Amino acid sequence: MPEWLLKDENYIPQADKDTFVNKSILSLLSILSRFKTQSGYRVETFRVSAVLKVAFTIFLIVLLSLSRSFTFIIIVNVYLLLILSMMRTGEILKILRMSFIVAFFTFIILIPAAFWGNYYSMIMITPKVFATVMAVNILSHSTQWHSITSALKTFFVPDIFILVLDITIKYIMLLGEFSLNMLYSLKLRSVGKNRNKYASISGVAGTMFIKSKEMAEDMYTAMECRGYTGEYRVYTKTKFTYADFIYMMINIVIIFAFFYLGKV
């Protein structure tokens, strides 16, 4: 054992800025936690089929953009807020924050139009944007990514496209965790003044690139070993449940409301 290893280190660190590493860690953590929270709880809480959820969310957004009835927009907003109230507190806050921010910026953008007397756009478009952002967020928070991509098959999206989407989502998670650990490691080993921060960051990026290339090659080999020949078929099992029926009925009522209020 070398002598220095037998003695305690008498070291006083110099102050240094680690903002970039800390911010990168925080942003990666938030992305990963988003994926991680796509867990069993939602499947139990919202048993509605992903196909119906995707279909009616798209339909709702189309109806919202076509509607000229303020009452209809309010009904949709109330309906979405009711669904939102069944979610976790953290998610409610997250979705509301996102919806309010986007609606607020829309409101700001439309102020000049209001100055020129076009109040109608401001009154109609702002709640439409609020409802649209809320609907998309409810869908993404209440449905697993995998279910959403599988549901795309119903809308005649090619299987290979669904496979690529699925793999992309999986690798965002895997490589995200890998890069998070690399940043943790960089942070733990940054015990003093790093005069060459960018070299360390590019080292992390380079290792990530090599790792992702290796993983891609390994995966392709594994797929070939399991009989992949360039054709991929997505299988979906859909079972119509009581929850699906109720969800469908509510949405049909909303569709009727769109046509009825459109006439009035």
Partner 1 sequence: MIEMKNVSYAYEGICALKDVTLHISKGEAIALLGPNGSGKSTLLKLINGIVSPDAGSYKFNNEDITHKKLQDTKFTKLFHQKIGFVFQNSDTQLFCADVFDEIAFGPRQMGMNESDVDQRVNDCLSLLNIQDFKHRPPYHLSGGEKRKVAIACVLALNPEVLVLDEPMNGLDPRTQRWLVGFLSNLNKAGKTLITSTHNLELVQEISKRSILFDENHCIVADLPTDDLLQDVDLLKRVNLVDEFYHKHEGNEHKHFHMHNF
Q: Which two tokens stand for residue 234?
A: 């997505």
The least CB distance from residue 94 to partner 1, in Å, is 12
C-alpha 81/C-alpha 138 separation (Å) is: 10
Judged by CB under 8 A, which stretch of 64-72, 105-113, 114-122, 174-182 contacts partner 1?
174-182
The least CB distance from residue 127 to partner 1, in Å, is 32
C-alpha 184/C-alpha 190 separation (Å) is: 10
The least CB distance from residue 149 to partner 1, in Å, is 22
Give, as one character, the DSSP assignment of residue 38.
S
Within 8 A by CB and 6+ apart from 178, the residues are 208, 211
The least CB distance from residue 81 to partner 1, in Å, is 23
The least CB distance from residue 18 to partner 1, in Å, is 6
- Binding string to partner 1 for residues 204 to 233, with x set by CB under 8 A, is what? x-xx--xx----------------------
The least CB distance from residue 75 to partner 1, in Å, is 33
Q: Does 140 bind partner 1 (CB under 8 A)?
A: no
Q: Which of 112, 158, 192, 262 binds partner 1 (CB under 8 A)?
A: 192
- Binding string to partner 1 for residues 1 to 30, with x set by CB under 8 A, is what? xx-xxxxxx-xxxxxxxx------------
Location of structure tokens 């076009």: 118
The least CB distance from residue 57 to partner 1, in Å, is 24
For 14-50, letters b (16+ CB in 10 Å) and e give: eeeeeeebeebbeebeeebebbeebeeebeeebebbb
CB nearer to partner 1: give 123 or 215. Answer: 215
Distances (CA, A) of 9 to 3, 13, 51, 245, 250: 11, 11, 61, 69, 69
With residue 63 as reference, give the H or E element that holds it. Answer: helix 50-66
Q: What are phi and psi of 205, to 5 degrees?
A: -60, -40
Q: Does 181 bind partner 1 (CB under 8 A)?
A: yes
Q: How many CA atoms lie within 13 A of 92 on its CB side?
A: 10
CB nearer to partner 1: give 5 or 111. Answer: 5
Q: Does 121 bind partner 1 (CB under 8 A)?
A: no
Residues forming the site for partner 1 (CB under 8 A) = 1-2, 4-9, 11-18, 33, 36-37, 178, 181-182, 184-194, 200, 203-204, 206-207, 210-211
